[in-house]
Amino acid sequence: MVDEAQAQRWENLARSAEAWLDTARILRACAETIGGPFVEDIVKPPPPPGERSVEENVPPILFGFVFQMLAGYTIEALLKGILVARYRDAVTEGRLATWLTKHNLENLLTRAGITLDDPLLAFIRRVNVAVVWSGPYPVPKERARMEGRLSSSADLEWFEDIYHRLYVRLQIELDRTSEVRDP
Cβ–Cβ contacts within 10 Å for residue 3, how many? 8
| Residue 30 reports pLDDT greater than 70 | yes
DSSP assignment of 122-180 equals HHHHHHHHIIIIITT-SS-SSGGG-------TTHHHHHHHHHHHHHHHHHHHHHHTT-P
50-79 burial: b if 16+ Cβ within 10 Å, else e: eeeeeeeeeebbebbbbbbbbbbbbbbbbb
Model confidence band, residue 137 (pLDDT cutoffs 50, 70, 90): confident
Domains and CATH numbers, the chain: 20-176 (1.20.120)
pLDDT of residue 180: 44
Q: pTM value?
A: 0.87
pLDDT per residue over 44-68, tens digit each?
886 677 665 555 678 888 899 999 9
Model confidence band, residue 161 (pLDDT cutoffs 50, 70, 90): very high
Q: What would the mean pLDDT of 61-87 be, rounded to a whole number?
A: 95
